[in-house]
Structure 1
Amino acid sequence: MITLRPADLAREHGISTQAVRNYEQDGFIPPAERTHSGYRIYTEVHAAALRTYLAMVRAYGHSTAGRIMHAIHDDALDDALMTIDRGHSQLLQDRSTLDAVRKAIGHLTAETPDRPTDATPRTIGELAHLLGVTAATVRNWERAGILVPARDPATGHRVYQATDIRDAELAHLLRRGGYPLEHIATVVQQVRTAGGTDTLATSLEDWQRKLTLQGLAMLDAAALLSHYLSMRPTSAKDG
């Protein structure tokens, strides 16, 4: 059996030996054996676990990666696989959202800037209900410059016209795609101007690249997880 030091595991990934010890303490890699003098002894199983965990972080994020490794080390493989399944489901949903954004933009750019998509003005409550968000969210979009509704001169209440509704729908789609409000404000401003969709096209391309990279990261993580599971004791995998 090949034995490894914390420094050996750390060097492979460009991390500190303390990080390796922290990952062990947090249960992301199995507990190490100890020498009589108290030094940790790692093996290729630990190295495989660390590779798997860090790949899971790239694919699913720190929190989800931690849950996956904890489930594996608790011999709850089905729980780990269910967490992975949720990650793939979220990626599929994000791809669907991106496709919806593209379709929305195709519809918007096919129209003139002043052509209404819905002639019925809406209140803030009605707009929030239409999008399935809260009125507070709509007000946040306004503060970010994404929405610029007119006011009813008699009541002072916000009135959302067709173009406001268009901008709100677009903001909702991009927000679900993970873009910050400042970025969305820039995109919506571009859409408001005639032919100003260059920023939006760049955003969609960037979003597509991120989803592609995440999908590839999930493939890498799956391969490393499969290898790690094959190295663990049979009782741990079948428990």
Structure 2
Amino acid sequence: METFSPKQIANALNFSTTTLRRYEEQELIPVVPRTKSNHRVYTWIHVQAFTTIRAMLKGFDIPVVYDVMRLCKDARFEEALWLVNEQQYHIQVEKRRVEEILMMIQNADFTRYKNVKLTEYMSIGEAAKIAGVNTSAIRHWEYEGLVHSERNKENGYRMFSVAELRKILVISSLRRTVYYIENMKGLLNDLDTQNYNKIEHSFQLALENLNHQLLDQLKGIAELIKYINLYQEVTN
């Protein structure tokens, strides 16, 4: 059986031996054999495990990758694959959401969103539910000057107009691709003035990023399948 030292693995996969140990400590890989002098000895199953982790991290969030690898380590392969499948569903939902909000921006008669009839003013809870975000996110965006609310004269609660809801929807869709507050403020100003060219470009960029993420996810899944197949061969 061919074996490898930590340095050989690190050089081949282009990351540090510290990273190897961290992945091992996080219990993401199969148990690593030791020599009589207590040195780590890696095999091809470990090489594929490390390769899978690095590939999946390009398309999936760290907690998801770690959960998937731990499930595989325990030979719970179906659960790992269903977790990956769930993440694929989420990215499709996000793509559909971006496309819907882009259509909403282009729709001059914005009185309904996702079959919800919009009222002239909505509470922060109602706006958050429609936009699919936490109320804390909306408060943060208001603090940053991206959206503005009015106060209900009777109870002092925040109330958001339909125009501000549109801004909340735009922010929630572009926050991963528009990184600077001032850039976002510029786009929202264009939304107010109905100058949609830059906004549409930003949404197209968001869609392109989702396309890239999907490709990265599929590449990561390909390595995961190799890992599962190899793991099953080694343990059977």
The secondary structure found in structure 2 opposite 1:28 is coil
Question: Unmatched 5+ residue regions in structure 1?
Answer: none
Residue 93 of structure 2 corresponds to 93
Q: Secondary structure at the match of 2:42?
A: strand
Deviation readout 1:38-73 (Å, 9 max, x if unpaired): 211111111011101111211212111111111011
User: Does residue 122 of the first structure (1) align with residue 125 of the second (2)?
Assistant: no
3-state secondary structure, aligned to 1:48? helix
Work out whether residues 146 and 189 of structure 1, in 8 Å CA contact, stay in contact via their aligned partners in 2: no
Q: Percent identity?
A: 22
Q: Identify the range of structure 1 (200-209 vs 52-61) with the bigger mean alpha-carbon deviation.
A: 200-209
CA-to-partner distance for each residue in 1:151-209, whole Å, 9 max, x for gaps? 6899987664443343344345546x6766835433212211242x3432332122112
Secondary structure of 1:80's match?
helix
Instruction: Give the superposition deviation at 1:123.
Output: 5.1
Letter of the 1:45 counterpart: I
Question: In structure 2, what is the equivalent of residue 229 of structure 1?
Answer: 228
Aligned to 1:14: 14
Question: What residue number does 2:55 align with?
Answer: 55
The worse-fitting range, judged by mean Cα deviation, of 213-222 and 131-140 is 131-140
Query: For 2:227 and 2:61, how far apart are their aligned partners in 1?
Result: 19
- What amino acid maps onto 2:163 in structure 1? T
Give 1:141's aligned residue: 141
Contact preservation (8 Å) 1:2, 1:43: yes
Give the superposition deviation at 1:223. Answer: 1.4
Corresponding residue of 2:42:
42
Higher gyration radius (CA): 1
Q: TM-score, normalised by structure 2?
A: 0.80
Cα 1:125/1:93, change in 2 over 3 Å:
closer
Cα distance, 1:36 vs structure 2: 1.6
Question: For the residues of structure 2 that align with 1:190 and 1:228, how far apart are their CA atoms?
Answer: 48
**Do 1:45 and 1:231's aligned partners in 2 also have CA atoms closer than 8 Å?**
yes
* Distance in 1 separating the partners of 2:20 and 2:222: 22
Contact 1:120 1:162 in 2 (8 A): yes
| 1:117/1:166 contact within 8 Å kept | no
Q: When the two structures are superposed, what TM-score results if normalisation uses the length of structure 1?
A: 0.79
Letter in 2 for 1:189: N
Tell me how far apart the structure 2 counterparts of residues 169 and 122 of structure 1 sit (CA, whole Å): 15
Distance in 2 (CA, whole Å) between partners of 1:86 and 1:222 is 13
Whichever residue aligns with residue 170 of structure 1, its letter is V
Compute the displacement of 1:12 (Å). Answer: 2.5
* Matching of residue 72 in structure 1 with residue 69 in structure 2: no
Deviation of 1:136 after TM superposition, in Å, equals 5.4
Distance 1:103 1:61, change over 3 A: same
Distance 1:205 1:11, change over 3 A: farther
Distance in 2 (CA, whole Å) between partners of 1:75 and 1:214 is 27
Q: Describe the shift of the 1:102–1:4 C-alpha distance in structure 2 as closer, same or farther (beyond 3 A).
A: same
- Number of equivalenced pairs: 229
SS of corresponding position for 2:41? strand
Q: Following the alignment from structure 2 to structure 1, what is the Cα–Cα distance between the partners of residues 220 and 88?
A: 12
Q: 1:13 to 1:200 in 2, by over 3 A?
A: farther
Aligned twin of 2:82:
82
Aligned position for 1:104: 104
